[in-house]
Structures are given as C-alpha cells and as structure tokens.
Amino acid sequence: MTKCNGCEIVKMTDLGKDFIPKGSTIIKMQGGWILNHSSEPQKNYLGHLILQPTRHVMDIDKLYDEEASALGTNLRNVIRALKEYWKQAFKWDELQRVYVVYFWESEFTEKPSKWHMHIHLFPRTKAMVGGHPPTEVAAWQMPELTEKAYFPSKYRIRIDNMKALFDYLANDLASNDNK
C-alpha cells in the first residue's frame, strides 16, 4: 500500500531520526507533530506553514491524548515564534493575525486512504491584504492574494527567505522545548 502525502513528508523526518539537518524546512515538534512550509508550487508565500501529526490520522477526535495535548502547545509556540520572526524581518509590516485552518483532504489526490490530517497556518499582514479590512478576507483566501499586484514581493517564496525563517523557527522552538 502506498503511503499518503502526509506520511511521505513524515518519512523524510525519519531519515534523520531525532535530528533534522539545519536549513531544512521540516521541524520535529513535541508530542508526535512536525512543522513544514507549504510546498504548493503556486499561491505560496512565506510563513504559510503546515502542522501535522507524524502518525497517520485523519480527525482531531482520533488523536491520542499526548498528540491532542501537544497540538495546543505547538500551535501557540509556532505562532509566537512566527510573530517574533516577523517583527525582526519585516518591521514595516506587522503580522496582524495567523489564521489556523484544519484539513484532512488533499487537492492532490481523491483517494481518502492517502489523506492525512494537517493544519494550515496562514499569516496575514496589512500589506498582504492590500489594505482591505480583515473582514473582507477569509483565512483560506490568503494564498489567492499572492496573485494580486499589491502582494509584497518580499513575501514570495525564495530559498534564502524560507531558510532564514526555518532557521529562526528551529532555534526558537528548540528553546521552548527546553523550558
């Protein structure tokens, strides 16, 4: 049986066991979770993160107690770290909100056996939404905004800015693990 897309991402982390190489865009988190950057080729932007369990599971109510407990802590820690990174890297455009959206389906396959629970984190700044009021932009519309002329070029995915973000997140999240 072929593994689902989420399990294939998890398998990449297993190659390094407890160590993921510096510069990677996958971070092992507490309680059986990993964090990675969205890899959709289009409509992708810096900070669009995905948190997913390392175990193949499709629903929140099917999480083990340790996984469920770690979910809230991991979300809080990732959002705090992302906001702190944004303050340092993009002082001119404050990170106003990080939308959290839970999925298990995949647009890449129609086979439910290949689906894997995952949680998208969509950062939002004033410049990203072109000055529109927050109520005019829904969380799942954030990737669509990358096609707009006003979308800041600094937030488009480049190897250097994604590496800088993940180096920062890895260091910050590792220090949270030691607290």
Tens of pLDDT, residue by residue, the chain (179 residues): 456 777 777 777 665 444 444 445 788 899 999 998 887 656 678 999 999 999 988 889 999 999 999 999 999 999 999 999 999 999 999 898 999 988 756 555 565 566 788 899 999 998 998 888 878 888 888 888 888 888 898 888 777 888 889 889 989 988 876 45
What is the pTM (predicted TM-score) of this model?
0.85
**How much is the CA Rg of the chain, to the nearest whole Å?**
16
Q: What is the extent of the structural domain holding 50?
A: 5-177
Q: What is the spatial distance between Cα 166 and Cα 26, in angstroms, rounded to a whole number?
A: 8
Q: Can you tell me whether residue 19 is helix, strand or coil?
A: coil
- What is the number of structural domains in the chain? 1
Cβ(166)–Cβ(25) under 8 Å? yes
Which helix or strand (DSSP H or E) is residue 159 part of?
A: helix 159-177
CATH of the domain at 99: 3.30.428.10
**In this structure, are residues 50 and 38 in contact, taking their beta carbons and an 8 Å threshold?**
yes
pLDDT of residue 74: 96
